[in-house]
Every structure is written in structure tokens, then in C-alpha cells.
């Protein structure tokens, strides 16, 4: 029986991560509490854009939705058009600043939370143990589990990575299911999954549909670089680094291939043309098509997420078992149920409404 877990923001909330709607209000709250949390120049680029271009008055700043910030920016970039007098170069920069504020806010909240991420560690251990049957070249016949995540945070990524490092018996990698290079040249704990399987080890599959805070991409060769236990995409704003492969291949331009964060932001016109994201999305489709059971944790299947909806509607088996883990009071459970039933029709759907932590505690205890 193959199970695919699909995670949304609700998966990380009980460990202290913000929901998407809370990111902008939280950013302003943090800046008010302690402005030294942020790079001042970046933060004021972000607020100026909201004030000047979007014409939102200051008292309404914290109500603005990420979609309304990113959709016009991304549309202008994809059409090569300027936005209300702002040149393309500046749009790129503003986009980076908004991205910086978003990523930094998640980072600060997770660093300062008093909530425990034990349940995420438990889930990481559970996934790694299940995946270990693929070792010793058994991967052709065994493929019990994978995770597809819509989240940028790296709570689960780090938990899996640390569990593998702690256990000498596991020769494994976190497999982002695209071609990934290690950020530090000598870091052997970051390897493509296929390479690890070929060596007799195994992979724990974690497909991140919207990118990851620990990924950086080379603008020239499109290689993705990853590092664990570090939110690279945010740290990169302070200290830019260059693609070591391109620097070697094009020595006349040494240092000119600055790595950049490249997350998929919430917009109504997501740009998934990036070659690495195409691979991740294609592989996610394959995982879904192979699933006999799909468990959604903290994911609400919103209408704006139409790429995910079309992927599910194209690739989900008719006889798949679906379980939805949400966190809500009894009076809204009926609406949640009909929302999912109207999407998946006659398929077998079950629900639990006590949140991710309770669900994972039970899952681990039963295993």
C-alpha cells in the first residue's frame, strides 16, 4: 500500500509557523517590536511598494494579502511590462524585498516559538523507517511513501535530515525529487536521490511544490543548491554567493553567477516554467498517480491553488482512499466535508479534525 502525504501550512502551524494569511500582519508586528529583526532598506522597499504603488494607507498595511502583492509583480515580469511607472529592474528588486520580508518573518517566528516540533520529528522518523525498505536496491519493487509539501518552511526537511545523520544504520538522503547540488562542496549529506539509491542507500521523498527556504538557484545553469539546518534563501540576502560550477566553467566571469532564492509565491498566475519546478511538479503527479492512499494534512484545497487542483483531478486514482486532517470546531466540520466531497466525488473520504499533531501522535503509536 503506497501512501502519499500532502502537506499545507496547517501541518507546521502547531510547531509555530504562521499561516499564509498571518505572514504580512506578523511581519509588521515584528518590525514594530524590534526593527533590528529586518534589514531596514529591504523592509522599507517593501512598505514603500505597498504605500506608493498599491496605494494602501498605513493603517491597512497588515490586511493586505500576499496574492495581491505578488500577482501584479509577477504578471509584469512575465509580460516584460512596467508596473505603474516602476521599471522591470525595480520590480525584480521589490519582489526580492517582499520575498525577504516573508522568509525572514517565518524564520523569526520559528526561532522564537515556544511550541514543540516533537510531532514533526516523530513524523520524520516514521517516514524514514518506512522508506528504508528501499535500500539495497529494493527500490524497484518497494515504494511505500512520499510527501508532497506546499510549504516553504524546512521543519520536516531538517527533522528527516537530522534523524538520518543520527542513525548510523541509515545510508539515506532527503530526496527533493529534482536535481539538487550541495550548497557546500564537501557536504556529502546532500545528494540526488537516484545517486543514493544506486549506491545501495535509500531516499526519503519530499517534493516541495512551491520551493524551499533552503534552496538557492543559479540564474545561468538553473542548478538548485540546498543545505540543511539553514534558511539559505534568507541568509543569502546578507551574503551573496556565486555558482561554483559556472564559476569554474566560465572563469572569465568568475563570481558573476550569483545564486538567488526562487520560491513560488502565492499568486493567481504562478510561473511554473522554471525547469526544476517542472520536474518537481511532474514527479508529484507520478507520486499521486501511484498512491493507494492520500492523506492531506493542514491543506485546505483552496480555489486559488488551481494548479494543485488540476494535478489532483488528473492524477488521482478512482479507488484511492483519502483522509483529510484539519483543525476545526464541530460547527464548521460540515462545510469542510462537503468542500472535499464535491472535489473528489464518490471516492472514499474520511476525516479527522484534531489537527496534525494529534493525527501524527496516533499514526506513530499505531506503527
Shortest Cβ 254–Zn ion spacing (Å)? 12
Per CB under 5 A, the list member of 2, 51, 220, 347 interacting with Zn ion is: 220
Residues 6+ apart with CB under 8 A from 329: none
Instruction: Output 204 or 218, the one with its CB closest to Zn ion.
Output: 218
Task: Determine the Cα–Cα distance for residues 300 and 10; give it in Å rounded to an integer.
Answer: 8
Shortest Cβ 206–Zn ion spacing (Å)? 23
94 contacts 46 by C-beta, under 8 angstroms: yes
Residues 6+ apart with CB under 8 A from 341: 349
Shortest Cβ 250–Zn ion spacing (Å)? 9
Note whether 243 binds Zn ion by CB under 5 A.
Answer: yes
Note whether 221 binds Zn ion by CB under 5 A.
Answer: yes
Per CB under 5 A, the list member of 30, 108, 127, 218 interacting with Zn ion is: 218
Note whether 244 binds Zn ion by CB under 5 A.
Answer: no
Alpha helix ranges (H) inside the chain: 10-13, 20-33, 40-48, 66-79, 88-112, 118-131, 155-166, 193-198, 232-238, 244-249, 275-290, 306-315, 330-344, 355-366
What is 198-211 written as a DSSP string? HTT-EEEEEEETT-
Of 121-129, 152-160, 243-251, 280-288, which part binds Zn ion (CB under 5 A)? 243-251
Instruction: Output 246 or 360, the one with its CB closest to Zn ion.
Output: 246
Note whether 206 binds Zn ion by CB under 5 A.
Answer: no
Note whether 259 binds Zn ion by CB under 5 A.
Answer: no
Chain-centre distance of CA 257, in angstroms?
Answer: 24
Note whether 246 binds Zn ion by CB under 5 A.
Answer: yes
DSSP, collapsed to helix, strand or coil, labels residue 7 as: strand
218 contacts 245 by C-beta, under 8 angstroms: yes
Note whether 204 binds Zn ion by CB under 5 A.
Answer: no
Shortest Cβ 277–Zn ion spacing (Å)? 17
Note whether 216 binds Zn ion by CB under 5 A.
Answer: no
Note whether 91 binds Zn ion by CB under 5 A.
Answer: no
Sites of contact with Zn ion (CB under 5 A): 218, 220-221, 243, 245-246, 257
Amino acid at each position: 500500500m503506497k501512501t502519499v502525504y500532502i502537506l499545507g501550512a496547517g501541518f507546521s502551524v502547531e510547531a509555530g509557523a504562521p499561516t499564509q494569511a498571518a505572514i504580512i500582519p506578523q511581519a509588521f508586528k515584528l518590525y514594530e517590536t524590534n526593527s533590528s529583526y529586518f534589514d531596514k532598506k529591504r523592509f522599507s522597499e517593501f512598505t514603500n511598494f505597498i504605500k506608493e504603488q498599491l496605494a494602501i494607507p498605513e493603517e491597512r498595511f497588515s490586511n493586505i494579502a500576499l496574492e495581491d502583492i505578488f500577482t501584479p509583480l509577477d504578471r509584469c515580469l512575465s509580460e516584460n511590462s512596467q508596473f505603474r511607472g516602476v521599471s522591470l529592474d525595480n520590480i525584480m528588486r521589490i519582489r526580492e524585498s517582499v520575498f525577504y520580508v516573508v522568509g525572514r518573518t517565518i524564520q523569526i517566528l520559528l526561532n522564537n516559538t515556544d511550541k514543540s516540533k516533537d510531532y514533526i520529528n516523530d513524523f520524520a522518523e516514521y517516514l524514514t523507517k518506512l522508506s528504508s525498505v528501499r535500500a539495497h536496491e529494493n527500490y524497484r519493487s518497494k515504494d511505500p511513501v512520499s510527501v508532497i509539501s506546499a510549504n516553504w518552511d524546512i521543519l520536516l526537511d531538517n527533522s528527516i535530515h537530522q534523524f538520518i545523520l543520527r542513525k548510523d544504520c541509515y545510508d539515506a538522503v532527503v530526496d527533493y525529487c529534482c536535481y539538487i547540488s550541495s550548497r557546500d562542496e564537501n557536504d556529502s549529506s546532500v545528494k540526488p536521490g537516484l545517486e543514493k539509491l544506486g549506491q545501495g542507500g535509500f531516499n526519503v521523498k519530499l517534493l516541495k511544490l512551491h520551493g524551499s527556504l533552503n534552496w538557492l538557484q543559479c540564474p545561468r545553469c538553473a542548478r538548485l543548491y540546498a543545505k540543511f539546518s539553514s534558511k539559505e534563501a534568507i541568509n543569502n540576502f546578507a551574503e551573496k554567493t556565486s555558482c561554483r560550477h559556472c564559476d569554474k566553467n566560465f572563469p572569465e566571469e568568475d563570481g558573476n553567477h550569483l545564486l538567488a532564492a526562487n520560491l513560488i509565491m502565492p499568486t493567481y498566475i504562478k510561473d511554473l516554467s522554471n525547469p526544476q519546478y517542472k520536474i518537481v511538479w511532474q514527479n508529484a503527479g507520478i507520486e499521486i498517480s501511484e498512491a493507494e492512499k492520500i492523506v492531506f494534512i493542514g491543506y485546505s484545497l483552496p480555489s486559488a491553488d488551481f494548479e494543485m487542483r488540476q494535478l489532483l483531478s488528473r492524477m488521482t486514482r478512482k479507488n484511492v482512499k483519502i483522509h483529510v486532517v484539519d483543525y476545526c470546531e464541530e460547527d464548521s466540520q460540515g462545510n469542510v466535508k462537503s468542500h472535499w466531497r464535491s472535489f473528489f466525488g464518490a471516492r472514499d473520504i474520511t476525516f479527522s479534525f484534531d489537527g496534525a499533531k494529534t493525527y501524527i501522535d496516533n499514526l506513530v503509536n499505531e506503527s
